[in-house]
Amino acid sequence: MQRDFSFELTYQDAQTHARCGIIHTPHGDIETPAFVPVGTQATVKSLNVDELKELNVHMFFVNTYHMYLRPGLDVIQTFGGLHHFMGWDRPIITDSGGFQIFSLGRKKYSHSLNQLGSIAVPAGRQDSRNQVVERDQNASPVLVKISDDGVEFQSHWDGTKHVFTPERSMEYQWILGSDIHIAFDDCTPYGVKYEKAKRSMERTHAWAKRSLIRHQELSKNPAVAKALAGNQEPGTKNKELSSKNKVYQALYGSIQGSVFEELRKTSAAFITSLPFDGFAIGGVSVGESKEEMQNVLDWVMPMLPEDKPRHLLGVGEIDDIFALIEHGVDTFDCVQPTRLARVGRLYSFGEDKKPCEVDITKAVYAHDKGPNDEGCQCYTCTHVTRGYLHHLFKTRELLGYRLATIHNIFWIQSLVSQIRLAIREGRLVALKNAWL
């Protein structure tokens, strides 16, 4: 199998740790730093793939947990992977499923399984990564039981029981066929004590090794089908996995350790000692302050090897973007731009020329003939008025969600594109000062 995944560092900023590069994948290149929109259910809501390409999206994020439950991996396998299923021929990144299991679940202590103890996760907790707003509000409470072997949980849709292990997570992502996979990790919620965070980090490290072993077996062994035949899951029944026509799929190790310096550094040292293709920083954007998130980056980023790509999971609000890029993050995913768009909040600039969110549902915009953002060249800002957008949102017309999503993605892409240029021209700090 051709191992055509690599990272090319093209420019290093002299004043900060920001860098420009290119991630080469079998489905094309990703110019970094790059914002990665989230397409939880195999769709960046309301946009088709050609529109995403016009918006200069080179990779988007799909959640393994959601694909596993619906449509089910047997369906994805029938279509030959997510790329064919969605009609998207550019790179895809998937997560391990762990974060969704933990964030959509409600943990319950189990003497037989749970050695970590009970951690309360409010079922309706919202943060910038989990998908609670898309959850069926009438769904029954779900349970999550953690053991060193893996995680047992109940579907947030129908209450059926399922088990994810590091090995299964690798197999599921292999079936999805995403270009970048993430190792299965134990995601602690914000606020856990040191001892629990340490226990969770140790489990993440054990799972990282198991993920890597399974991933390497899947990547190297053309007779993978045989190995999986005895390990059939509801999602893979009656189907054999085949390496035929499979291109190389990369695996990123996940660094955990909550908000504790010692744990984060231990985790960075351990995970980077393993031969992963890149590294993901997990366990952020789970309720910690922005200062705490930046502390994590301060501790972890200098320990990561320069020649491999780094992904920050679930962070990407406007005021985070400069900070994370200055720390040397290459790619980052965030639901914020698309989620805000669907509630009528569009990025723009205020009278002070600083970034702001316009709540287009406010009555003040009903007669506004101006565009959402004078300087924006997106389809929405060059074709429709604030007054029309206001009307679409007040009447809950689908076009409103589409137009707002187009604008917010374009706007973020434009910012990140300006940042890439500024890094290459040595004026990143000046650009930041002009923006923030």
- Which residue is associated with the tokens 């029954």? 140
Pick the catalytic residue from 179, 186, 333, 373.
333
Does residue number 321 form part of the binding site for Zn ion (CB under 5 A)? no
Written as six digits, the tokens of 118 are 């009970």
| Contact assessment for residue 431 and residue 371, using Cβ atoms and an 8 Å cutoff | no
Which parts of 145-193 fold into alpha helices (H)?
166-176
Pick the catalytic residue from 13, 95, 186, 373.
95
SS3 label, residue 421 = helix
95 is catalytic: yes
In whole angstroms, give the CA distance from residue 26 to residue 114: 40
Sign of the CA dihedral 332, 287, 184, 204? positive
Please report how close the Cβ of residue 128 comes to Zn ion at its closest, in angstroms. 22
Report whether the peptide linkage leading into residue 33 is cis, meaning its omega lies within 30 degrees of zero.
Answer: yes
Given 55, 201, 304, 376, the residue binding Zn ion (CB under 5 A): 376
Please report how close the Cβ of residue 348 comes to Zn ion at its closest, in angstroms. 8
Does residue number 201 form part of the binding site for Zn ion (CB under 5 A)? no
Does residue number 378 form part of the binding site for Zn ion (CB under 5 A)? yes
User: Which H or E element spans position 398?
Assistant: helix 398-424
CB nearer Zn ion, residue 191 or residue 355 = 355
CB nearer Zn ion, residue 172 or residue 410 = 410
Please report how close the Cβ of residue 260 comes to Zn ion at its closest, in angstroms. 41
Please report how close the Cβ of residue 292 comes to Zn ion at its closest, in angstroms. 33
Plot region of 186 (φ>0 → left; ψ -120 to 50 → alpha; else → beta): beta
Does residue number 168 form part of the binding site for Zn ion (CB under 5 A)? no
- What residues contact residue 161 under an 8 Å CB cut-off, 6+ apart? 152, 153, 154, 155
Please report how close the Cβ of residue 417 comes to Zn ion at its closest, in angstroms. 14
- What residues contact residue 339 under an 8 Å CB cut-off, 6+ apart? 133
What order do you get walking across the sheet with 19-25 strand by strand?
A: 6-12, 19-25, 28-32
CB nearer Zn ion, residue 57 or residue 378 = 378
CB nearer Zn ion, residue 249 or residue 414 = 414
Pick the piece of the chain touching Zn ion (CB under 5 A) from 20-28, 136-144, 216-224, 399-407: 399-407
CB nearer Zn ion, residue 278 or residue 337 = 337
Partners of 279 in the beta sheet?
253, 310
Does residue number 381 form part of the binding site for Zn ion (CB under 5 A)? yes
In whole angstroms, give the CA distance from residue 385 to residue 398: 16
Pick the piece of the chain touching Zn ion (CB under 5 A) from 127-135, 226-234, 292-300, 381-389: 381-389
Partners of 6 in the beta sheet?
24
CB nearer Zn ion, residue 155 or residue 413 = 413
CB nearer Zn ion, residue 32 or residue 408 = 408
Q: How far is residue 112 CA from its own chain's centroid?
A: 32
Given 407, 420, 423, 432, the residue binding Zn ion (CB under 5 A): 407
Write each residue from 322 to 361 as x if it is in contact with Zn ion (CB under 5 A), else as -, in one continuous string: ----------------------------------------
In whole angstroms, give the CA distance from residue 426 to residue 213: 41
Pick the piece of the chain touching Zn ion (CB under 5 A) from 107-115, 335-343, 370-378, 415-423: 370-378
Please report how close the Cβ of residue 90 comes to Zn ion at its closest, in angstroms. 22
| Contact assessment for residue 64 and residue 176, using Cβ atoms and an 8 Å cutoff | yes
Pick the piece of the chain touching Zn ion (CB under 5 A) from 170-178, 184-192, 243-251, 401-409: 401-409
Sign of the CA dihedral 95, 181, 299, 427? negative
**How many residues in the shown chain lie near Zn ion by CB under 5 A?**
5
Please report how close the Cβ of residue 282 comes to Zn ion at its closest, in angstroms. 32
CA-nearest of 345, 347, 418 to 378 is 347
| Chain residues in the site for Zn ion (CB under 5 A) | 376, 378, 380-381, 407
Active site residues: 95, 333
